Amino acid sequence: MRSIWKGAISFGLVTIPVKLYSATEQRDVAFHQVHREDGGRIKYKRVCTVDGEEVSYSDIAKGYELPSGEMVILTDEDFADLPLSSSRRIDVLQFVEREEVDPIYFAKSYYLEPDAQGAKPYVLLRDALESSGQVAIVKVALRQRESLATLRVREGVFVLETMLWPDEVRAPEFPFLEEDIEVRKQELSMATSLIESMEGDFDPGEYKDAYREALQAVIDAKVEGREVARPAEEGAEEPAADLLSALRASVEAAKKSRGEKTGKAASGKGAPAKKPAARKTASSKSGEKKEPARSRGRKSA
């Protein structure tokens, strides 16, 4: 990874020099716009809508359009006078419980690495923050914009997560919120059963981007001159008669799916490769020695 910013965490009178890295990356398949006839890249010219002339990049300024259609032109000098912090500091403002910060505010995640001389105070603050179970609310200026952010610990590294400002989060003003919608007790009970039947530990490695994989397969097939294989379409399920029936069918399907997964896991564990005869004898002897330990385990249980 390549650092994209250098600065320091300012924590009281302690300053910790750090480097900033993007913690995430998009894995979308990238495309160019090309001419269908010969594959030539499509280029765009910057043309002024008033005089029709092509404009060089050095002559381009930022403009803010008013409701009347008039344009306010801002120059580099205008931006230079704005009160944006240029100290390259991550200022710690306060510490709060993690649950107090709604995830809807999070925008982008960054890793922070300490400079050589800042390793000890970095580790000190990291360990103290991790043991507290809290996150730090900080203020930082990145890419000509000041942002609130949180500072938390993940796998021994500080993660800086920039946040949206409160007025950037839209209010969910939907008509159904004002309606008096009745939910029957049986439906609520069945929906709760469905949630319980689908509970499990979150492992992101179990999921994949099927669309990206299929798209990459199409590209690979075209490169190799092969026919593109299309995946078989899943049969459409018949709609349930009512909501309660749909929930009940979903619970049964979830239980069946979980049972199949459990069965596969159990069959995989219960079918080890055959061992040589010598090892069988050794294992049986060790099993006889361990018999008292197993009985003690049952008593303690």
Q: Are 9 and 16 in contact (CB under 8 A)?
A: yes
In order of 25, 176, 186, 187, 258, the CA distances from 191 in angstroms are 36, 20, 9, 6, 17
Which helix (H) or strand (E) element contains residue 91?
strand 89-97
pLDDT at 228: 61
pTM: 0.69
* 154 three-class SS: strand
pLDDT at 233: 66
pLDDT at 231: 60
**In 115-146, which positions are buried (b, 16+ CB within 10 angstroms) versus exposed (e)?**
eeebeebbeebbeebeeeebbbbbebbbeeee
- Measured CA to CA, the distance from residue 70 to residue 285 in angstroms comes to 91
Length of the chain: 301
- Residue 65 phi, psi (nearest 5): -85, 130
Nearest residue to 158 via CA among 129, 117, 133, 132? 129
Residues of the chain with pLDDT below 50 are 270-301
Residue labelled with tokens 């050589």: 116
Q: Are 16 and 91 in contact (CB under 8 A)?
A: no
Rg of the chain taking only CA atoms, in angstroms: 30
If phi > 0 it is left, if psi is from -120 to 50 it is alpha, else beta; for residue 141 that is beta
Query: What sign results for the dihedral spanned by CA atoms 70, 76, 82, 86?
Result: positive
Measure CA 127 to chain center.
24
Nearest residue to 152 via CA among 96, 200, 192, 194? 96
pLDDT at 261: 65
pLDDT at 267: 56
pLDDT at 65: 95
Q: What tokens does 98 get?
A: 């993690």
pLDDT at 155: 95
Burial of 88 (0-12, 13-18, 19+ CB in 10 A): middle
**How many CB atoms within 10 Å of residue 240?**
13
- Measured CA to CA, the distance from residue 162 to residue 149 in angstroms comes to 4
Q: Are 248 and 194 in contact (CB under 8 A)?
A: no
Domains of the chain: 3-25+84-168 (2.40.290.10)
pLDDT at 274: 44
